[in-house]
Structure 1
Amino acid sequence: MHFLYVDESGDPGKHKHSSPHFILSGLVVSQEDWSIYLERLKTFRKSIYKKYGLNQRLEIHASELIRIGSLKEYQKITKSNRINILKDYATQIPIIFSNAKVINICLKIEDYPDRDIFALAWSRLLQRFDTYLKKEAKDKGVVIVDDTDSIKLQNLQRKLRIYNPTPSHFTEGSYNAPINNILEDPFSRNSNQSYFIQTVDVIAHLLYRKEFPKGSLKKFGLEYQFNKLEPILLKKASKSDDLGIVRA
């Protein structure tokens, strides 16, 4: 069995306050490696506690490490050290998850004025996960998500099990390639109870910082941290991007 842990960055809605992007990052973990990765995550969190004083039970939420919102305990740590936590995490992810794979979807909302961004991004992610399960892992998998539109995602995945039009590489047009290696409906998992979901939150945010660098944060080098994940990126997910990021 393989697990796909997923978190997002951005807002798939289209309104005046929506973000310019919608990012989905998925961490593919084998059942055989799960316990090993959990122990490594625990060790990493202990090191973060010793180095920066971040409680091991406190959720790591990437955007709040940069700009504190509801997690007031972050105030005990300086901003530079909170960003250093993200940088340390970026360094450790390929080491902790040495046999895992990361799939990334990054869509600019303005490029799809007439499309449902949520459905488009999730379709791309589920397609890539299913293809990985069939061709590389030769296994079945399940999807585990943080807070999202669970009913809409459930209906989308059920639809793709029946009809998933896929462009043909050999002829014009497309063929139906049902997503049938992903079992059950997506499972919801509260991020503050899962180191794995917290990890994909960090991955999605690092991709956001790479794609949309903010001037005031450039002195911290945040836009370069995502590239540290290169050893475990599923580059086959997109032949048109050096890091395998799916952009269309």
Structure 2
Amino acid sequence: MHILYVDESGDPGVHKFSSPHFILSGLIIDQNDWSSCLSNLKKFRKSLYKVYGLNQRTEIHASELIRINKLKTYQKIKKINRIKILKDYANQIPIIFNNSKVINVCLHIENFEDRDIFELAWSRLIQRFDTFLKRQAKDKGIVVVDDTDSIKLQNLQRKMRIYNPTPTHYGEGSYNAPINNILEDPFSRNSAQSYFIQTVDIIAHLLYRKEYPKGSLKKYGMEHLFNRLEPVLLKKASKSDNLGIVRA
């Protein structure tokens, strides 16, 4: 069994205040590695407490580490140290999850004005996970998500079990490739209660910072942190991107 933990960055809706992107990042963990990954995550969180004073029970939320909004407990940690927490996390992910893989979907919303961005991004992610399960893992899997539009996602996954049009390798037409290696509907998990969901939040945010570098953060090298995850990226997810990021 393989578990896909997923979190998102950005807003799939199109409105006055919507983000220019919608990102989904998924961390694939073999059930046989789950306990060791959790144990190593706990050790890592203990080290963050010793070095920066970040309580192990405090949720790690990437955007809040950069700019505090809701998590007031971050106020006792200097900004430079909050940035260092992100850097430490980026360094540790390929070590803690050395047998895992990460799928990333990054859609620039203006390129898909007539599409349902939520459905498009999730269908791409689900399809890649199912392909991974069939071809590489030869196994079954489940999907665990942070709070999202669970009913819409559930309906999408159920539809894809029956009808999932997939382009041919020759670029002409498509064929039906139902997803049949993903079990059950997606499971929702509160990110505050899951180190794994918090890890995927970090991954999605680092990809956002790579795609949309902010001038005020360049002095910290934030736009380069995502590349540190290269050892665990599922590059087969997209042949047109050197890091395997799915963009269409």
**TM-score interval for Structure 1 and Structure 2 normalised by the shorter chain:** over 0.9
Could you tell me which residue of structure 1 aligns to residue 120 of structure 2?
Answer: 120
Could you tell me which residue of structure 1 aligns to residue 110 of structure 2?
Answer: 110
Give the gaps of 5 or more residues in structure 1. Answer: none
Distance 1:17 1:170 in 2: 39
Q: Runs of 4 or more off by more than 6 Å in structure 1?
A: none
Distance 1:70 1:227 in 2: 28
Could you tell me which residue of structure 1 aligns to residue 147 of structure 2?
Answer: 147
Aligned positions of 1:226-245 closer than 5 A: 226-245=226-245
Deviations 1:128-168 (A, max 9, x none): 00000000000000000001000000000000000000011
Could you tell me which residue of structure 1 aligns to residue 26 of structure 2?
Answer: 26
Deviations 1:201-233 (A, max 9, x none): 000000000000000111010000000000000
Distance apart, 1:171 and its partner CA: 6.8
Distance 1:32 1:56 in 2: 24
Give the gaps of 5 or more residues in structure 2. Answer: none
Distance 1:174 1:109 in 2: 24
Further displaced range: 165-174 or 115-124:
165-174
Distance 1:241 1:63 in 2: 25
Distance 1:199 1:165 in 2: 31
Could you tell me which residue of structure 2 aligns to residue 132 of structure 1?
Answer: 132
Distance 2:138 2:31 in 1: 13
Please tell me the residue identity of whatever aligns with 2:219: K
Q: 1:171 to 1:23 in 2, by over 3 A?
A: closer
Distance apart, 1:70 and its partner CA: 1.1
Aligned positions of 1:187-198 closer than 5 A: 187-198=187-198
Distance apart, 1:172 and its partner CA: 2.1
Could you tell me which residue of structure 2 aligns to residue 48 of structure 1?
Answer: 48
Q: 1:51 to 1:156 in 2, by over 3 A?
A: same
Question: In the comparison of the two structures, how many residue pairs are matched?
Answer: 248
% identity of equivalent residues: 80
Alignment of 1:101 onto 2:138:
no
Could you tell me which residue of structure 2 aligns to residue 201 of structure 1?
Answer: 201
What's the RMSD between the two structures over aligned residues?
0.6
TM-score (norm 2): 0.99
